Amino acid sequence: SAVISQKPSRDICQRGTSLTIQCQVDSQVTMMFWYRQQPGQSLTLIATANQGSEATYESGFVIDKFPISRPNLTFSTLTVSNMSPEDSSIYLCSVNRGSIYEQYFGPGTRLTVT
């Protein structure tokens, strides 16, 4: 398995501000993934982050709204920019690990925008 930590674990933010979420992994990984889980819903992939290259965003997500950094093989950040109440969600990072690259998830960051 993988040990993944996220900071902050939760936050309450005002509309129009930005929040940067950090994800730290206990060992080097090639790909890191960012997901969003809106209240009562399933997980949706936001983007895939490879070290040394631009993140690849899924349909419906754009870099201006969710800029991602991947400065090394154990760390990534996701910024939620110009927040609105619709951004209230749990944001999770995950990595591939194991013989067939099963994914492991961090504990999530619970964001509430007021």
Binding site for another protein (CB under 8 A): 1, 4, 30-31, 33, 42-45, 48, 92, 94, 96, 98, 100-108, 110
* Nearest residue (CB) to another protein, 3 versus 63: 3
* Nearest residue (CB) to another protein, 1 versus 14: 1
CA dihedral (54, 45, 95, 7) positive or negative: positive
CB 29 to another protein: min, Å: 9
CB 45 to another protein: min, Å: 6
As to burial, measured by CB atoms within 10 angstroms (0-12 exposed, 13-18 middle, 19+ buried), residue 82 is exposed
Spatial separation of the C-alpha atoms in residues 35 and 47, rounded to whole Å: 7
